[in-house]
Structure 1
Amino acid sequence: MSARPRVVFAGTPDFAVASLHACVDAAVDVVAVYTQPDRPAGRGRKLCPSPVKRAALDAGLSVEQPESFRPVQVRRRLADLAPDLVVVVAYGLILSRSVLAIPRLGCWNVHASLLPRWRGAAPIQRAILAGDAETGVDLMQMEAGLDTGPVLLERRTPIRSDETGGSLHDRLAALGAALLAEALDRVIKGTLPEPKEQAGSGIAYAHKLDKSEAILDWREPAVALERKVRAFNPWPVAETVLGGERLRVWSAIALGGRPALPGTVIAVSPAGIDVACGEGQLRITAIQRDGGKRMSVSDWLNARPGLVDTLPGSAT
């Protein structure tokens, strides 16, 4: 390819920022950045730009923020940009067949899973919740189905035993950006491989996270609850009620232990609060009170003299 490809980038959250930087640093012309409209945020509910919008403006790039691609003028605007390629990373808007057909090279998507496992909105957290040993990023040629397109390139990575949703998010964002940079270089050189169709088996859907999922059910095995605590860190954060107080649970460790009624507080010490589960025990090691900040259990106990005597009983 002799001329520099004209690229439109479409993304919204933090996960997409590293991939935007990869496009900016590549031998391509980023002719526009599409991102979701500014949304209310914070206590004042002021309109706030997305992380991708902030990064795009910092790089001096043109920004487009349509509510959808249904209006003909929005699709015409994209066509007028004459993109060779549209790169989509956690954009948040569905692209119709008519939109996918606009760029000469089609649309690529950087997806944070090993497709066809974990198609959908929350692949990072679902992989941790399921106890997957590994995950990765796929660069997919987009089609009309939900994450069903053929895969151009893939990179795999193990999921560590202490991995949180936040730490895995950051690692996969960087891995996805590196994969995208490689793909852009290879498409310029004409060495990009033919896309491979996804397998017809092993399909799993990563449904959007809901805050109701974050409430710890002590009837579940301790291993499953530890995964939940890790997966939902930093959002929506696992929750329970302990000593009559609602607490957010930021970190915990699954333990063995003698059987007891699920939810029973077995032991309390500076090392943590051990709670009986359907199988084993969960040691809570870092918490957050309503309106407070995250702290270790040791600091929490120090701030509440006499609490140790009131805790043995049950958590809910």
Structure 2
Amino acid sequence: MRKNILIGICVVLVAGFVAVGLIAYKAVNGGIWIGDYKCMFVPSEKKVHLREYRGNSQEITIPTEILGFRVKAVSDIYDTATIEKIIIPKEIEYIDITGNENLKEVVFEEGTTKVNGFITECENISNITFPDSLENMSCAFFGAKALEDVTIPQGVTYITFNAFPDTAFEKNHSSDQYYVVGDGVLLFYNGQPDEIVIPEGVKQFTWSIYPGVSADVKRIYISDTVECADLVIRKDTEVLFGTNEVDGLDPEYIEGTLVAPEGSYIEQFCKENGVDFRVMTEDEEADLQQKTESADGIVYQE
């Protein structure tokens, strides 16, 4: 009798351990439902990734902690029948929200300094709120067709490429040759396709503001005020720089020629990274200054 009882206890314990093990495995690899969120835990980092939402609220605030684990990222919140507004706390490191047709508003809480990820094909978003604390916008909002306007905080120094494609916001500024936001960030460019001039006052821009993926661009003139430039430069394109130091250049995406004064930061960059370089002539230096200082059609967001 005792033997049978002990065997029964052992069976129950083993079954319990197996069940706990399976739950732990799913929690780390596939995710488990805790409340309204499907959670995938990262024990080594003491973080959790929210993968799905099954609630029925019209407004949700993403939690910052679940079972003592800090929420790291949010993704796969799509096809929800009720969510119209999402509030994203400053602790969230990455977001990926796709195809949520009911979503109308996204709010990033005060204290957020960087937003990273994608909010795509949410066609009815009409309002995105960024806090004054924001500095880096590495998040793209694809296909938010109802988004007419976005206020970019003055402290923003970086915006990723293709931040607002296929939005009403982008279309509303299609007639602006230059549309500058934040702390000197060139968000939209609608100038000549063959000769690009980045005017004085611009501090940061990315290759997506000009048609850099086409063969039309022959020359790009970059002013001395530019501090960061993410460029894709084709083989037959020349890019003229001043003596300024420019962050963001990646030799992997530079096939053309960089032109700058002798002894400049750009010359040293090219030598260290095997990028084609030639010294700027006096006429080119004067031309660069004239073009970047006299450019007109610049619109600054109020």
Q: TM-score, normalised by structure 1?
A: 0.28
Kindly indicate which of the two structures has a greater share of residues assigned to helix: 1
